[in-house]
Amino acid sequence: MTIEECNNIPRKHRKKKNLETEACRAGKGGEKETASAEETSPRGVLEMLVSGIDDKTGDLHWKKKLCHVKRTPSPWRISTISMIGGGKIPLRRRMHGRRSNSEDVGDFIMPKPSWKNFSYEELRQATHGFSSDKLIGKGGHAEVYKGQLYDGQVVAVKKIMKEEKNDEEKNGDFLAELGIIAHIDHPNTAKLIGFSSDQGLYLVLQYLPYGSLAIALHGSEDCRLEWDTRYKVAIGVAKGLQYLHSNCQRRIIHRDITASNILLSEDYEAQISDFGLAKWLPESWAHLVVSPIEGTFGYMAPEYFMHGLVNEKTDVFAFGVLLLELITGRRAVDSSSQSLVMWAKPHLENNSVDEIADPRLGGNYNVVEMKRAMFTASTCIHHLPTLRPNMIRVVQLLKGDNGLDMKQKSMGERIQMMKGDSMQDMKQKSMGERTLHIDVCDDVEDYDSPAYLTDLNRHMQLVME
C-alpha cells in the first residue's frame, strides 16, 4: 500500500487501517528500514542487553523468552517496527528538536548492566509473598508492592496484570516498556533496578518514601503539600517531559501522565514513572495513529480520545491537567464525575486566582508563580494541539526564563506566541509528513472549544455508566 493509498482511505476507516498507515509512513525501502528497525526496536535493545549476561547466573530463562518472542509473529512487533522507522540513531542528544541520521545505530544502544534479573522466589520473599499489607499501589494493569531485598535495599515491585491480554501481548508490552526505559536517564524519571519474567512479569524500581503525587495531593483532606513544593513538582515533571520529547536519544511520548504516575523522592523531586503506554515517535513523523486508545480518563487530549492521534502535544495536554491538580487540589475527574478541565476553564479565562487556588493553601502562595502556573495550564489544555506550547516553552514559562511578561500580553498575543512555537515544530518535519499531518487533522483543527467540552462530557458519561 502506498502513502497515496493511505491518504485516500476514508477518515472513518483510518483507525481500522492504522497499522497499514503506520507501515506506509515508514517510507520507501521498507525491507532495509525494517531490518534497521529490528536492531533498534525495544526487543532488539534487550537482546543486546542480555547478550552480556552470564548464563551461569541462571539468566538463561530470560534469553529463551526473548528468543520465543522473536520467533513468534505478532501484531505487536509489526506495530513496533513501523513506529521505529528506518533512520539510524546517533548518541548525541538533540537540543533543538533535530538529529542527524548518519551515525551508527550501535552508538544509540545503551544497555544497563546494573539491571538485575530477579527470580520469582527473590521477589516473593522481598514482598512477604506479595502480601496485601505490602500493596502500595494498584491500577488497571498493575499492582505495586513495597519490598526489601536480601541486601536490605527497599524497592517497589510492579507486578504486571493486564488480564484482558494474552501472554504474547503481555510479553510484547513488557519488552516494549523495558526497551524504552533502557534509553532513559534523567533525574525526573523513575529508576529501574531490575526485572523478572519468572512466573509472571515484574519490574523492580527504586522505592520512594512519599509515594505518588496522587497520594500526597489527594490522599487526605489535610494535604501537606505547600505551594513551594507543588511548584517544584510542576517544574520537575515539565523538565522530565522536555527530556523525553526533546533531549532523549529518541522522541518518547509517555501517553499516561497522571498524578498516580508521578513519584516523589525524599526531597520532593518529581519522577515520571510507568512507561507501559509510552511510544517511540520517529524524528520525521508529525504523529502516530494508535488503536486501541488507552490512558486515564480526564487526562486524555481531545484529538487522542476522538481520533487516536499521538504526539508530544498529547503529553502537553495531560501535563496541563496535572498542573491544574496542583493549582486547585482537585482530581482530574471528581466524585461527581465532573472534569477538572471543564470546571477550571471559566476561572482560567477570567484569571480568577482566588477562585481557582486550592483552599487548603490558605492563601499562602506566590502570586506571580500562581499566575504563571494558571497561564501555562490554560495553554497546555487548549483544544487545538497546534496552539499548545511544547515542553521547552512550558519549562520557560514556569521558570520565568522566557523574558516575557504575560500579564502585559493580551490573549491574542499569547495565542500568536504559541502559534510561533507550533510553526517552529512544524519546520522540523518534512514537507510530505506535514501534508499528511494536515490531511489527517482537518477535522481536529475545526474542533472548537464548545464542541470539545460537549464531547468530553459525553465521553465521561459513557465511561461512568
Q: How far apart are CA 414 and CA 121, in angstroms?
A: 57
Query: 394 by DSSP, 3-state: which?
Result: helix
In 3D, which of 39, 76, 46 has the Cα closest to residue 62? Answer: 46
User: How open is the CA angle 255-256-257, to the nearest 5 degrees?
Assistant: 110
146 annotated as a binding-site residue: no
* Residue 26 CA, distance from chain mean position: 22
Show contacts of 70-76: CB within 8 Å, 24+ apart: 70/43, 72/168, 74/168, 74/169, 74/172, 75/19, 76/168, 76/169, 76/172, 76/173, 76/176
User: Is residue 290 packed enough to be buried (19+ CB in 10 Å), middle (13-18) or exposed (0-12)?
Assistant: buried
Q: What distance, in Å, lies between the first and last C-alpha atoms of the chain?
A: 40
Query: 147 by DSSP, 3-state: which?
Result: strand
User: Is residue 326 packed enough to be buried (19+ CB in 10 Å), middle (13-18) or exposed (0-12)?
Assistant: buried
User: How open is the CA angle 177-182-184, to the nearest 5 degrees?
Assistant: 100
In 3D, which of 406, 246, 233, 258 has the Cα closest to residue 319? Answer: 258
- Please tell me which residue in 256, 274, 358, 425 is annotated as part of the active site: 256
Is 256 catalytic? The answer is yes
Active site residues: 256
Annotated binding-site positions for ATP: 159
Annotated binding-site positions: 159
